[in-house]
Structure 1
């Protein structure tokens, strides 16, 4: 596949679509290595990743579902959402916590480090696309509580979860975009 195809084939493939076949450690390492080559202003390289497999995924699911229960009023509580949180963790082969380490010297604006981390995730997503691995970036409100689950360094925080899993290609992974001409202004 050439780069144009890889970019155009990139999709959110959700945990409910995963088929249970594990993603190999070789591919996981390649995904993370490619993330490491994202652009980064002043080489702060702010991306940090916490890779969870096996029992660690189950612990994450329990923590997230319990936290959801704790922070949600009885009126707003959704048994469906509670189960979805658990099932997303169980259905995934791998969950990568996407974290950002703020430059201690704050040499650049924080938004640039968030953007660099997002570009690292885009590299992960494109690598998954090239290897036909399903993936999905979720940034639920629950990420605000991840300091109770992970031992973060000073200035580190969670920006979301990157769920990965093999899936059976159905041809339904279709997306569309409005024409680029509607989004570009040419100036001379």
Structure 2
């Protein structure tokens, strides 16, 4: 790989939402590569806190039903949005696969929890960059509903869900340009 390639991959990374996915399946081989790349994220004291649960086929439908039912149960009539309820189900149906992003807290608590959350996020960034390099759409969603995921998954002690990573193939014309403020507005040089 040419060193400049990484710049292009980082700068072409985009959120590609489930509504933009087509029907082409993301292969199991690609998902395995994605997870292996995630596994190489930085990790203080080698706690390797990232955990992933892969949902495909009927499991995606069960997740959609669980999330939409939970949304109905916890939302007052005044706040209930039929649009949001339907979107929850549609996102699960549209994705080729959904990866539940989980974090396993170090049982010895040798490092601050935020470092393990950050390490898990870096694992997800590795996944996102792998998707960008291979023209696979992906999107990390952290809905309020993740606090109820112990009703869906069997978590180990100290494990929790940090969100969902939706995967799907897409038509490139759906992607727009992304913008960032100039880096100079975010940096202070000290000598």
Q: Cα deviations across residues 97-141 of structure 1 (Å, max 9, x unaligned)?
A: 000000000000000000000000000000000000000000000
Aligned CA RMSD, in angstroms, stands at 0.9
1:171–1:56 Cα change, 3 Å: closer
Distance 1:147 1:40 in 2: 25
The answer (yes or no) to whether the contact 2:16–2:175 under 8 Å persists in 1 is: no
Which of these residues, 167, 170, 175, is aligned with residue 170 of structure 2?
167
Partner of 1:129: 132
**What's the CA shift for 1:174?**
1.2
Q: 4+ residue stretches of structure 1 with deviation over 2 A?
A: none
Distance 1:83 1:180 in 2: 39
Which of these residues, 98, 109, 113, is aligned with residue 112 of structure 2?
109
Q: Aligned runs of 1:61-76 on 2, under 5 Å?
A: 61-76=64-79
Q: Cα deviations across residues 42-82 of structure 1 (Å, max 9, x unaligned)?
A: 00000000000000000000000000000000110000000
Partner of 1:29: 32
SS, match of residue 52 in structure 2: strand
TM-score (norm 2): 0.97
TM-score (norm 1): 0.99
SS, match of residue 128 in structure 2: helix
Q: Aligned runs of 1:1-16 on 2, under 5 Å?
A: 2-16=5-19
**What's the CA shift for 1:173?**
2.7
Which consecutive unaligned segments of at least 5 residues does structure 1 have?
none
